[in-house]
Amino acid sequence: MIDNFDEDRYHMLRSAIAKKVEIEEDMAGQIAWRLLNYFGFEDDIIDNVLDQDDRRMFYFLQDLELLKTAWEEAVLPSGRTWRIFYWSLNKEHIFSYASVKEKAAGPEPGVYESLPQDVWSRDAETGEARA
């Protein structure tokens, strides 16, 4: 299932973003392109490449479970510890959100619409319901 994600990353991301955030496909497409400008065909990128606005967007998408983070530590020759942060596409959730079927258009029938027609028929003389 996840292999399908790599076939068309843009459409999968656009669909997942649109459904998860409940925005129009055009706006979701713009966000998907911004993500793909960083990720390309990779699943992970280093945090250092992000500008502040995009980092904010990445945190937002992390809250929606479309992205996830990881980090590792490296010891520098000076003995200082350097922490490296990474962003990853959460392919499982993206695929899941993109695959969600849309609800049928139109409102669900209410209580009155679900009653049979004979409930609304009354005898003019007695005022009683007719069977």
**Tell me: the pLDDT tens digits for 79-121?**
999 999 999 999 999 999 988 776 555 566 666 676 777 767 7
Domain membership flag for residue 116: no
Domain membership flag for residue 30: yes
Domain membership flag for residue 66: yes
Domain range for 34: 3-102
Give tens-digit pLDDT for 40-72.
Answer: 889 999 999 999 999 999 999 999 999 999 999
Domain membership flag for residue 124: no
- Measured CA to CA, the distance from residue 109 to residue 55 in angstroms comes to 44
**How many CB atoms neighbour CB 91 within 10 A?**
20
Q: Is the pTM of this model over 0.75?
A: no
Number of structural domains found in the chain: 1
Domain membership flag for residue 110: no
